[in-house]
A and B are shown apart, each in its own frame.
Chain A
Amino acid sequence: MKKTLFLLAAATALAGIAAPANAQGMDKVKACFIYVGPVGDFGWSYQHDQGRLYVEEKLGDKLETAYLESVPEGADSERALERFARSGCNIIFTTSFGYMDATNKVAKDFPDIKFEHATGYKREHPNVATYDSKFFQGRYVIGQIAAKMSKTGSAGYIASFPIPEVVQGINSFMLGAQSVNPEFKLKVVWVNTWFDPGKEADAAKVLLDGGVDILTQHTDSTAPMQVAAERGAYAFGQASEMIAFGPNTQLTSIIDEWGPYYMERITAVLEGTWEQQATWAGMAEGHVVMAPYTNMPDDVKAMAEETEAKITSGEFHPFTGPIKKQDGSEWLAEGQVAEDGELAGLNFYVAGIDDQLPQ
């Protein structure tokens, strides 16, 4: 008994020595955010800012926040980060992939400040953590819904850039759809932009003209939702709740909830328990949230809710074999689950997608 106590005390003492700065908490923390777009884009940057506001409301006096919007990637982002670092920020969230190198560069010069980079993979210094969300989990659910709801057995997918995150989404959507209808067809249009309402609307129209009756998008504006509403088709929202733009159109929306993560990490700084990590969280952690299932019959809703529950509990993973690659070769054997590392660099389609992945 005594020995155990002694060991515990020693362990505590050691922990205290190993991380003196981390061990003590703070009374007040300043959290800073840098956004690539305007907070008014009602998409990616908007949702990050919602996360900031969420934590601000929860922590009240203990938290001060600041943000910089529309910061170009490159030299400007490095300067913006440096200004943050020197203006008393304790933790800085850099919310675009293109800030990856700038984040690591500035983090090197400011070892006492925590840096959190969204969607990247470089953690070159102990004070850099990365985070991302498993949006593909939601896409499996909407794929199933699409296959149930589509009369033509096909859906249109408005895609931005062929990076792994987007490819994961397309694959996951298709796997979900195939689980309901193995013959399901998916038409993909690459618009080469994250945000251009006009171009997204054009892509939506072209897809609907081509005979699909359900749209989903991996771009940020609400324009495709509006087009679908006009044409009497169905659509899925992206990044934020878009029901206002299609009350009779939106089936559900995959919402990026950054609030809980920001809460967790800022609290960790307050309590002195912040550590480097690579977070890739999904439904279970509340990072990927499905908007209410609307405009669909009860049985479809029940199916969607069941799948969501299974993914949340970890009982089911969207990338579970058997899955073939587009060229027909085997990717995952029966029962085999794709590893996170492999998904993070995904650059091929699964079988059945009728599109050539831009290389």
Chain B
Amino acid sequence: MRIELQKRDGVSTLFAVLSPFVALGLTLIAGVILFVALGKDPVAALYSFFIEPLTEIWSLHELAIKAAPLILIAVGLSVCFRSNNWNIGAEGQFIIGAMAGSILPVVFHGWQSPLVLPLMIVFAMIGGAAYAAIPAFLKARLNTNEILTSLMLVYVAQLFLDWTVRGPWRNPEGFNFPETRNFHDYAVLPRIIETGKTHWGFGFALIAAIVLWFVMRRTLKGFEITVLGQSARAGRFAGFSDKKMVYFAFLLSGALAGLAGMAEVSGSIEQLRPVISPGYGFTAIIVAFLGRLNPLGIVAAGLVLALTYLGGEAAQISIGITDKVTRLFQGLLLFFVLGCDTLIHYRIRLVFGAAQKGSAA
């Protein structure tokens, strides 16, 4: 027996809607098996995973805070991926953006003014974009593989942050501990509504998603992105420049990743430390694909992924399963979702009997 894929003529609208639910169903089944095997009540476990974090207002705020960087980075990446630019170094652009955004409150902490925050945003976006410009330049000019350069630059950024925070930017009153000064009030991103913790990072994420959705759907630029993504040759015939698109995609996603970094340090951490991201830049890649590279889909995907983090914590506390189980469960969910999306573009056939030439093993 083997599995054969058959390309559909177009996109299956039915499965575009259905596939997340199929994936969810499979995840639930796998979850039940997993939790029963561990001797835990599967209903309680699944409840704390998927429902409990949604039952309280504070938790919804936390959901938004956790989802914000994922969405913000992922919508930028969606433009990259759609135009066939494989930027997987958003983690590095996030870090450099956060650092550029922190120059004012850390180095020039004496200057306290309402101008600080807008400038931090600008610096962060420039920082992230500039860092993304390196792989873009290397790709456009020298045809260097951008997947690999952007990935390498992540490590360089992580080490640079580590060095800066332990060295020149270390808080002089911090007993030698590796962290910068705390940001002053003018440098802290305000909350969206007074009653909850959600800060403007989530606002930025939603705005970016909506704007990019509009651009992709309704503008010539969106068309250009799609055409160049499908075939650089076809794009050239249409008069589009694939080189310019490389820069556009990288600078845009870099700027958004940088903004996400700034929002994270300014809105949540309120200082720089040796590690400021638990891998947002990488998780956002998963989010971008879960959201099928559609900015609005990404908003949903970011919230779902954030939910699994919160749910994992809730499950650890309420039914005492370990962090390992929550990560395993998260991994399973991602696998099912990624696998089920195949149904949108392909028909799956089970073929019995001997393999024919050129078929899938």
Contact = CB atoms under 8 A, between A and B. Distances in A.
A97 B276 CA distance: 15
B182 A79 contact: no
A68 B323 contact: yes
A75 B178 CA distance: 17
B313 interface: yes
Contacts of A195: none
B167 interface: yes
Interface in A74-95: 74-76, 78-80, 82-84, 86-87
Contacts of A87: 317-318
B223 interface: no
B316 A66 contact: yes
Interface stretch (A19-27, A161-169, A300-308, A313-321): A161-169
Interface in B210-236: none
Contacts of A82: 58, 62
Contacts of A79: 62, 65-66, 310, 313
A83 B59 contact: yes
A292 interface: no
A261 to B, nearest CB: 22
A296 to B, nearest CB: 34
Contacts of B58: 82, 86
B322 interface: yes
Interface size class of chain A, counting residues whose CB lies under 8 Å from the partner chain: 35 or more
Given A66-B316, A86-B58, A75 B176 contact: no
A286 interface: no
Contacts of A32: 317
A78 B278 CA distance: 14
B264 A75 contact: yes
B313 A83 contact: yes
A80 B275 contact: no
A87 B59 CA distance: 12
Nearest to A40: B324
A27 B62 CA distance: 32
Dominant secondary structure at the B interface: helix
Contacts of B316: 66-69
Nearest to B175: A345
B101 to A, nearest CB: 15
A101 B317 contact: no
Contact of A344 (B56, B65, B175, B314): B175
Given A78-B268, A86-B56, A101-B270, A73 B275 contact: yes
Nearest to A87: B317
Contact of A163 (B177, B269, B309, B318): B177
A195 to B, nearest CB: 13
B178 A161 contact: yes
A347 B323 contact: no
Contacts of A4: none
A72 B278 contact: yes
A347 B268 contact: no
Residue in B177, B275, B314 with the greatest tally of chain A CB atoms within 10 Å: B177
A143 to B, nearest CB: 22
Interface string A327-359: 000000000000000001101000000000011
A75 B270 contact: no
A198 B58 CA distance: 41
B285 to A, nearest CB: 18
A260 interface: no
B271 interface: yes
Contacts of B162: 192
Contacts of A68: 313, 316-317, 323
A101 B316 CA distance: 23
Interface string A96-118: 01100100000000000000000
23 contacts: A66-B317, A68-B313, A69-B323, A72-B278, A73-B275, A74-B264, A74-B273, A74-B276, A75-B65, A76-B309, A79-B62, A83-B59, A83-B62, A83-B314, A87-B317, A121-B175, A162-B176, A163-B176, A163-B177, A163-B178, A164-B177, A192-B162, A345-B175
Given A82-B58, A192-B162, A347-B176, 8 more contacts: A66-B320, A75-B268, A86-B56, A87-B317, A162-B176, A167-B176, A347-B175, A359-B167
Interface of A: 32, 38-39, 66-70, 72-76, 78-80, 82-84, 86-87, 97-98, 101, 121, 161-164, 167, 192, 344-345, 347, 358-359
